[in-house]
Structure 1
Amino acid sequence: MTKTLPLPVGLSRREFARCAAGVAALAVPALHAQSSNRIVLGQSAAFTGAAAQLGIQFHAGAKLFFDQYNAQGGSGRQRVEIAQMDDGYEPDRCAENTRKLLADDVFALFGYIGTPTSVAALPLATKAEVPFIAPFTGAMSLRQPFNRMAFHLRASYNDETELIVRNLHNLGLNRVAVFHQNDAYGKAGLDGMTLALSSRNLKPVATATVERNSVDVAAAVATINAANPQAVVQISAYKSCAAYIRAARKAGYGGSFYNVSFVGTQALADELGKDGAGVVVSQVVPNPYAGSKPISREFRDAIAEGGNKVQPNFSSMEGYLAAKLVAEGLRRAGSRVTRESLISGLESLGEQSLGGYSVSLSGRDHVASSFVELSMLTGDGKIRT
């Protein structure tokens, strides 16, 4: 028997206390224009390269939801499908993919992974008047100024860095350095850190960069270690952050490490193994491993029903929630779904709870959530919040 997924029906913001895999089959899709029985969402994301697990896991969570949604009849007997294309987390490839997806008349763009790639894609979606839904990024540049085509599920990097700095400040850790990717994502995170620190009359004691899709961190380690920070906040992807942590510790650094959610928490834990103990990561979706919220239990039940083919982690949970948000927008779009009616459907959401994960959308606000909490790697591949 197919289990009925509950319709979206509040959540508490928990602050962190003291102390601070899967493989996807990836052929380039054979794309087709919209038809009477299919709604195709186009996704350009990293499915190979140094950020691959982010794309793989997000896509797996979204597909898990849509597979079960389609088994229940989809949207007015229309199946919802994702046409995925690999951009390797490179903006030029993402822009090329996006042009191909738009030329093929995908219904909407969905689940793009990263700031530099989304920055390349959003203007193309806007010009084509195609909705751009749930990008895996918290950059303010994609949220301001307001863009009617863009809908964001997750909290911003400003929300994440504010919580990180608040936690550090409460612990008396005020000498903070920032290790960041040398691109739009890294700048967005650095801007958030600078804003949060300046509100407490502080500034980074040092900053250093790493190139996107690189693990060449030696110069960054030397620069930051020389400043003797109490904590290093990392704004990069899991491979470079793991390389930095190992290199910094080998060079004698004994302080704390904090990361924003884009790092890919489970991927970072897998990269670091026992070296991950004590590393902190901010999260923008509920804990997928604990049963404290109905959405977490629903997610794990869906994985079990789907044959346990999806790894439960924060990235796949975000994909699942993003798909759930799209489905709610389609439900509200009426019997004859168009791009315009999907936009109106999402804007009519108001304040809702997706199983304890609060979201709110309107005609003036397309950022669904500001939920952030902190988590910690335990060193045995697990994460606790």
Structure 2
Amino acid sequence: MLVSRLMRTALICALSLRALAAFAETGVTDNTIVLGMSTPLSGVNGAYGVEMKEAIAGYIRQINAEGGIHNRKIELVALDDGYETERAVANTKALIDNHKAFALLGYYGTSPTTAALPVISAAKVPLIGTISGADNLRTPVNRYLFHVRASYGDETEAITDQLVSLGLKNIAVFYQNDGFGKSGLDGVTAALKKHGLAPSALGTVERNSTDVSAAVQAIAKVRPQAVVMVSLYKPTAAFVRQMKNVGSHPQYATLSPVGADLLVAELGNDARGIGISQVVPYPWNDTVPLVKEYKRMLSQQSKTPTLSYYGVEGFITAKTMVEALRRAGRDLTREKLVAALEGMQGYDVGGYKLGYSTTSHNGSKFVDLTVIGSAGKVLH
């Protein structure tokens, strides 16, 4: 009789443990939630990922110090992909399979994210925030990818309309020869077409390269009034310098991924007058609650805080993830996280609004036009 009872008790315990295991979600324990991130942390474009990671990690530290999410602390695993497509895919597999990430955030770049997306979709792991405004990542809607920034179409339309309003018609395009650059080129071309115009010349640079000589030769010969640059800060700086060396001085405009602070550091005084579209609020505007909170967090965690647009975007990404985790509840699953995000149709991050639904994961259409002034100050 005693043996029978013991066997029955053991069986009930085994079944209970099996049931608990069946309902346990990968990357979630009683005390922790694991989040993964793949971004460039080294190499030519490493500064971008470092700025974003520092803001995300800083906000996570703050949330953990306050008790976490439903009494769970967040663990961030950030892997360096060097802005290389193959490494981003390998990192994504490692984050999901080896590090058991519950969800992902803060990816960087159109081509790396596009290549990693099939892995993400197959595993049904939500990804919040990627530094890309490319249409191929937005249409059709991917159930597991949520954007926190405006599209490249939104940015290039604002830039192009501004240039045309100034009476400029001879507008060339310098772009990175990958998904990011081509998406930006498509946006400029579409925006110019609305005004009965087309790019007067095209020039390209390869990803992770600063060899812009062929692009300078192709664009300088048409004597452009303006050049829209869809490139990152090092090739952008190289292009502006070499155009100056051949005696060409058009109006320059570029998109948010360039990183205003990094471009100024690279170009010095030659950066003055370059227009930059921005997709998050001005990091030096204390009247925006989001920015005020971002600056307060940095000052509490560092004696020498550095403000940047990438930092603000990382902060927005982290806040969006944390809010969605809260709304998803204590019994956390990936599908509940997706449902919570799709229910955030009017989420105010603090003067910056995001909106998701089952038919749109675009998040925002916010675009602000800025220009680099004297002493490298970004004016808006």
- Say yes or no: TM over 0.5: yes
Provide the rounded CA distance (Å) in 2 between the counterparts of 1:100 and 1:116: 18
Corresponding position of 2:76: 82
Structure 1 position 250, deviation (Å): 1.3
The TM-score normalised by the length of structure 1 is 0.90
Match of 1:64 in 2: 58
Is it true that 1:315 corresponds to 2:318 in the alignment? no
Amino acid across the alignment from 1:90: E
Q: Tell me which of 156, 160, 179 is aligned to 1:161.
A: 156
Q: In the alignment, which of 85, 89, 102 is matched to residue 91 of structure 1?
A: 85
2:92 aligns to what SS in structure 1? helix
Alignment of 1:100 with 2:89, yes or no, is no
Q: How far is 1:193 from its partner?
A: 0.7
The answer on 1:347 being equivalent to 2:342 is yes
Question: Which of 296, 317, 320 is residue 301 of structure 1 equivalent to?
Answer: 296
- State the secondary structure of the residue aligned to 1:160: helix
**Does the 8 Å CA contact 2:28/2:332 hold for their aligned counterparts?**
no
Give the secondary structure class of the aligned counterpart of 2:247: coil
CA deviation vs aligned residue, 1:114-151 (integer Å, no higher than 9, x gap): 00100111111001110111011101100001111110
Alignment of 1:13-32 (within 5 A): none
Query: Which residue in 2 is equivalent to 1:26?
Result: none
Number of the residue aligned with 1:369: 364
Per the TM alignment, residue 167 of structure 1 is displaced from its structure 2 partner at its CA by: 0.4
Residue 367 of structure 1: CA displacement? 1.2
Q: Which amino acid aligns with 2:191?
A: A
Asked if 1 retains the 8 angstrom alpha-carbon contact of 2:31 and 2:71, the reply is yes
| Mapping for residues 195-210 of structure 1, pairs under 5 Å | 195-210=190-205
1:141 aligns with 2:136: yes
- The 1-side partners of 2:71 and 2:118 are apart by 32
Aligned residues: 354
Greater share of helix = 2
SS of residue paired to 2:312:
helix
1:275/1:379 contact within 8 Å kept: no
Matches within 5 A, 1:193-232: 193-232=188-227
Aligned residue type for 2:104: L
Contact 1:158–1:189 (Cα < 8 Å) also in 2: yes
Cα offset, 1:39, TM superposition: 1.3
Do the aligned partners of residues 284 and 260 (structure 1) sit closer, same or farther apart at CA in structure 2, a change above 3 Å counting? Answer: same
Matches of 2:187 and 2:234 in 1, distance apart? 22
Please list every run of 5 or more consecutive structure 1 residues that lacks an aligned counterpart in the other structure.
1-31
The match for 2:37 among 40, 43, 47 is 43
| Among candidates 148, 152, 155, match of residue 147 of structure 2 | 152
1:39, 1:191 → 2: CA distance?
A: 39
Q: CA deviation at 1:97?
A: 1.0
Whether contact under 8 Å (2:27, 2:33) holds in the other structure is no
- State the secondary structure of the residue aligned to 2:104: strand
1:256 pairs with one of 246, 251, 266: 251
Partner of 1:53: 47
Instruction: Tell me how far apart the structure 2 counterparts of residues 379 and 115 of structure 1 sit (CA, whole Å).
Output: 32
* Structure having the higher Rg: 2
1:358 Cα offset (Å): 1.4
Distance 2:286 2:164 in 1: 30
Note the residue ranges of structure 2 that are not aligned, 5 or more in a row.
1-25
**Shift, 1:310, TM fit:** 4.1
1:309 shift after superposition: 5.2
How far did residue 235 of structure 1 move? 0.7
Aligned alpha-carbon RMSD (Å): 1.3
Alpha-carbon distance in 2 for matches of 1:101, 1:267: 29
Paired residue secondary structure (2:320): helix
* Whole-Å separation in 1 of the counterparts to 2:134 and 2:261: 21
In the aligned structure 1, how far is the partner of 2:114 from the partner of 2:239?
26
- The 1-side partners of 2:264 and 2:34 are apart by 33
| Counterpart contact for 1:53–1:264, Cα < 8 Å | no
Runs in 1 of length 4+ with deviation above 2 angstroms? 32-36, 307-310
1:148 partner SS: coil
Whole-Å Cα distance in 1 between the matches of residues 35 and 27 of structure 2?
11
Q: What amino acid is the match of 1:184?
A: G
Deviation sequence 1:227-248 (CA, Å, 0-9, x none): 1111111111111101111111
Higher relative contact order (CA 8 A, sep 6+): 1
For residues 303 and 103 of structure 2, the distance between their equivalents in structure 1, rounded to whole angstroms, comes to 28
- Distance apart, 1:33 and its partner CA: 5.0
